[in-house]
Chains A and B, each alone.
Chain A
């Protein structure tokens, strides 16, 4: 069983560009929103 568990454990996968973008989408969106707020504050 132990060996089976080890075999079952999924190996980390390399994510493509899309995968990496999705995984980090929250940071990208926060960045856009905060920068947007900063720009709007300055323009205001």
Chain B
């Protein structure tokens, strides 16, 4: 994949290179900082100098840019043209003293109104979205030096472990400044461009910047990878992760070996000592110093168009298709209307303006606004249920979702793992096991999961605190999802190194060759293995999560090291297990049932073993037909997996890639798949799902990959989200179907009128006024509700039914448009010609159609919005009823006002209204009947 290049010059590559090549002390001097970081006051000063750590392209556009955008629509363009023409014909070319400004003022008002409405609606939507985003907190862990002037420190000496622990603090990401010292661990998003100071098995995914899908190792070895091979000889790393085993692991895991293979490229992105904003930590931990923040970062300097691009969803694609269908109609209509009117009326200027006004009338210029207003409205409503929508379009996918895959822990189960028992291999209580587990959990600095927290917080651990004094931490081998275990190495009072490894049972068994029974160490032979498997299986069947604990002493000084690696996790002694209870949530069963009622199947994708997963599923009422395991998935082709995934509800012992494969397989089967997870191992699945759902407490990369963030980790709120998603989708599709069918109907009305009438059926200005009022009434649509039946099923965008819908429903209104022409021509004497060959009742004719057209177009909203009988079985919400009624009332009154007279209307006689009422009643009855038979013929299809 090609890598992206910065488009602005603001990215300070030279500074990055200089800092990358420098030794620590030099780097601190360049960045005017120290290993102890900055004080709060210094940081504030720098923030004032360089600005907040925010990327400009992520900031909302300024109000005036949005205002300009709101006014630059084809609709407004046409109004400006008409305004200019009116200015010349009515004002400039009028006889002196007889200039008429009315039309010009009217058109200016219309431009202002439509532009301001659009601006206001979009501005509000965006503000709401911004506020919602701000509710999802992103923080960085920094080291800040105490402000106390009495605090003495030696900048040439690194701070002690105690100092690091005491003075680290969480601050909002935007408050980071160059010179800050930051702590990073697995799952973190890199908060700025930074230079690595210390690292431990740090693997970073730079795919967002380079397209490189494999993680690269980052470590404090300055220089050579930025193109200066000589410099690589300088500056020995303070921690040296690149040793035999790390290299082996890279080879085994297919990790790109950063720097060396690309050292000739001279590309700053390849610098091993630099981490870049926008990338994320796959595994390991590190400490680094911030070099560039905000727009000065590599990420911030990139073209927003490239980086901000996301694949079109089926919904975007659908909206685009609809727009094109309507544009094609317009392209057909405008020339046809122009030619027919030009030929029949012999006034080509008027014919052109009329054709353009018709074009405006049939253009659904509100579509983008209706879509964004609906999405914004939906997201605000969802926020009330503590569901934050990060990407607005995903609301629609939320409604379309028919399968929800979820991680087990914390969603079905309480986010409160409790350490139940600490047992030796025979199943007897053992304090030694607790002590070992405590040392391991306490000292590990990587991703602290719920199990570590449960161990450290365990009540009995209080008695174990003295243990901390007896042992000195030497090193750790961080957790990763391939090994599914992690180790900590400590030194005891006797100078012996003790490696304590804890992790998934099978993975620990693989590295054990002895087992501790009582005080004895026995070989871990198949018989023992069988026994311990039986003990752990029993625990699992009771719904307990089991973590095995193993250890080994490294007494030989020659074998003791400062840095240990995965290769040292061998020849261990199995000490026992820690048993955790992860109780199911009380609401989980209810939530699963509710989702099922709304057509969403819940599937469990867990890294846990099948016994625990099954037990939890049984507890919450998920039907466990079969379980598919990670290793079985590996043996399957994509097609086999797709078939299996459709039927199976529980997937256990999965690694992150398995989760992704299951999601993709389900999507391939035509499902809209949601995925809910909060761990670093969930990130790929969150990205691959149609809707990625995470929680506020999730790791950064999970939150970054998700489309929707729950402020509460609960399935109950998901049902509300699904319902909202469907309601939003319903309101959008309502507008689209209405706009498409009513525009198509207008075409049927305008063409015969153009052909048969000796004057225009409606003047351009009249069409535009009608259009403006109609559009304003449509703005109420996001406030409409949907029938309960509609909300009960997943709703997926399918553009195929749209043309059919247009074809059948659109012409219904044309029947009554044509009837109105007959009425106005024959009954209200539209044919009467006065002196000079003028049709004296043309204004009456136009007023008659103006009112009828508005009524039929507006009432179709009520017909289309429901499958039921409108007003009797299903009524729109009050705002929609009020606004549409107001619009109709306004249009009915206009012909009687001075404004009406100015734009060429004549007041309608009292005898017109009974005819109109009869026509409207017939129209509603006919449309309802067509609707009923349409649904019968097309398998119940409506919205």
| Physical interaction between A and B | yes
B926 near A13: Cβ-Cβ < 8 Å: no
A2 near B811: Cβ-Cβ < 8 Å: no
A7 vs B819: C-alpha distance when bound (angstroms): 43
B930 near A15: Cβ-Cβ < 8 Å: no
Choose one: A5, A9, A23, A38; the contact of B933 (CB below 8 Å): A23
B120: interface (CB < 8 Å): no
For B831, the closest partner residue in chain A by CB is A44
B936 near A13: Cβ-Cβ < 8 Å: yes
Contacts A22-B929, A25-B926, A41-B756 given; indicate if A5 touches B936 (C-beta within 8 A).
no
Contacts A22-B929, A23-B934, A25-B930 given; indicate if A30 touches B815 (C-beta within 8 A).
yes
For A2, the closest partner residue in chain B by CB is B601
For B402, the closest partner residue in chain A by CB is A2
A13 vs B936: C-alpha distance when bound (angstroms): 5
A26 near B756: Cβ-Cβ < 8 Å: no
B596: chain A residues within 8 A (beta carbon): 1
For A13, the closest partner residue in chain B by CB is B936
A23 near B599: Cβ-Cβ < 8 Å: no
B940 near A10: Cβ-Cβ < 8 Å: yes
B752 near A34: Cβ-Cβ < 8 Å: yes
Contacts A33-B815, A33-B822, A37-B752 given; indicate if A19 touches B930 (C-beta within 8 A).
no
A36 nearest CB across to chain B (Å):
8
B818: chain A residues within 8 A (beta carbon): 29-30, 33-34, 37
A11 vs B533: C-alpha distance when bound (angstroms): 53
A26 near B939: Cβ-Cβ < 8 Å: no
A9: chain B residues within 8 A (beta carbon): 939-940
B726 nearest CB across to chain A (Å):
13
Choose one: B601, B794, B811, B821; the contact of A27 (CB below 8 Å): B811
A5 vs B940: C-alpha distance when bound (angstroms): 13
Choose one: B601, B815, B933, B935; the contact of A1 (CB below 8 Å): B601
A10: chain B residues within 8 A (beta carbon): 935, 939-940
B601 near A26: Cβ-Cβ < 8 Å: no
B808: chain A residues within 8 A (beta carbon): 23, 26
A26 nearest CB across to chain B (Å):
4
B756: chain A residues within 8 A (beta carbon): 37-38, 41
B815 near A22: Cβ-Cβ < 8 Å: no
A33 vs B919: C-alpha distance when bound (angstroms): 14
B937: chain A residues within 8 A (beta carbon): 12-13, 15, 19, 23
B793: interface (CB < 8 Å): yes
B402: chain A residues within 8 A (beta carbon): 2
B795 nearest CB across to chain A (Å):
12
B794: chain A residues within 8 A (beta carbon): 5
B431: interface (CB < 8 Å): no
Contacts A1-B599, A26-B926 given; indicate if A11 touches B933 (C-beta within 8 A).
no
A38: chain B residues within 8 A (beta carbon): 756
Choose one: A5, A12, A26, A29; the contact of B599 (CB below 8 Å): A5
For A44, the closest partner residue in chain B by CB is B831
- Which residues between 572 and 596 of chain B lie within 8 Å of chain A, taking CB atoms? 596
A23: chain B residues within 8 A (beta carbon): 808, 930, 933-934, 937
Chain B contact patch, size range = 20 to 34
A27: chain B residues within 8 A (beta carbon): 811
B748 near A30: Cβ-Cβ < 8 Å: yes
Choose one: A8, A12, A13, A26; the contact of B930 (CB below 8 Å): A26
State the main secondary structure of chain A at its contact with B. Answer: helix
A36 vs B938: C-alpha distance when bound (angstroms): 32
For B930, the closest partner residue in chain A by CB is A23
B333: interface (CB < 8 Å): no
B933: chain A residues within 8 A (beta carbon): 15, 19-20, 22-23
A38 vs B822: C-alpha distance when bound (angstroms): 12
- Which residues between 810 and 824 of chain B lie within 8 Å of chain A, taking CB atoms? 811-812, 814-815, 818-819, 821-822
A13 vs B938: C-alpha distance when bound (angstroms): 7
A30 vs B822: C-alpha distance when bound (angstroms): 12
B599: chain A residues within 8 A (beta carbon): 1-2, 5
A26 near B814: Cβ-Cβ < 8 Å: yes
Contacts A5-B599, A33-B822 given; indicate if A26 touches B752 (C-beta within 8 A).
no
For B933, the closest partner residue in chain A by CB is A23
A5: chain B residues within 8 A (beta carbon): 599, 793-794
B184: interface (CB < 8 Å): no
B768: interface (CB < 8 Å): no
B710: interface (CB < 8 Å): no
B934: chain A residues within 8 A (beta carbon): 23
> 1/0 per residue B903-938: CB within 8 Å of A?
000000000000000000000001001100111111
B546: interface (CB < 8 Å): no
A33 vs B940: C-alpha distance when bound (angstroms): 31
A26 near B815: Cβ-Cβ < 8 Å: yes
For B808, the closest partner residue in chain A by CB is A23
A31 nearest CB across to chain B (Å):
10
For A14, the closest partner residue in chain B by CB is B937
Contacts A26-B926, A34-B818, A41-B756 given; indicate if A15 touches B936 (C-beta within 8 A).
yes
Q: Which of B811, B814, B933 lies at the interface centre, i.e. has the most chain A CB atoms within 10 A of its CB?
A: B933
For B826, the closest partner residue in chain A by CB is A40
A26: chain B residues within 8 A (beta carbon): 808, 811-812, 814-815, 926, 930
A41 nearest CB across to chain B (Å):
6
A5 vs B815: C-alpha distance when bound (angstroms): 37
Q: Which of A10, A20, A22, A23 lies at the interface centre, i.e. has the most chain B CB atoms within 10 A of its CB?
A: A23
B401 nearest CB across to chain A (Å):
12
B600: interface (CB < 8 Å): yes
A2 nearest CB across to chain B (Å):
6
Contacts A5-B599, A9-B939, A11-B939 given; indicate if A30 touches B930 (C-beta within 8 A).
no
A38 nearest CB across to chain B (Å):
8
B821: chain A residues within 8 A (beta carbon): 37
A23 vs B805: C-alpha distance when bound (angstroms): 12
A14 vs B933: C-alpha distance when bound (angstroms): 10
A30 nearest CB across to chain B (Å):
6
B929: chain A residues within 8 A (beta carbon): 22, 25
A12 near B938: Cβ-Cβ < 8 Å: yes
Q: Which of A2, A26, A36 lies at the interface centre, i.e. has the most chain B CB atoms within 10 A of its CB?
A: A26
A12 near B939: Cβ-Cβ < 8 Å: yes
A20: chain B residues within 8 A (beta carbon): 933
For B595, the closest partner residue in chain A by CB is A1
- Which residues between 597 and 623 of chain B lie within 8 Å of chain A, taking CB atoms? 597, 599-601
A29 vs B813: C-alpha distance when bound (angstroms): 11
A25 vs B748: C-alpha distance when bound (angstroms): 14
For A10, the closest partner residue in chain B by CB is B940
| CB-defined A-B contacts under 8 Å, sample of 12 | A1-B601, A5-B794, A19-B936, A23-B933, A23-B937, A25-B926, A27-B811, A29-B815, A34-B752, A34-B818, A37-B752, A37-B822
Top 7 A-B pairs, shortest CB-CB distance: A10-B940, A23-B933, A33-B818, A26-B811, A12-B939, A29-B815, A13-B936
Chain A interface (Cβ < 8 Å from any Cβ of B): 1-2, 5, 8-13, 15, 19-20, 22-23, 25-27, 29-30, 33-34, 36-38, 41
Q: A1-B599, A20-B933 are in contact. List 16 more A-B contacts (CB 8 A).
A: A1-B597, A2-B601, A5-B793, A8-B793, A15-B933, A22-B930, A23-B933, A25-B926, A26-B808, A26-B811, A26-B814, A30-B748, A30-B814, A30-B818, A33-B815, A37-B822
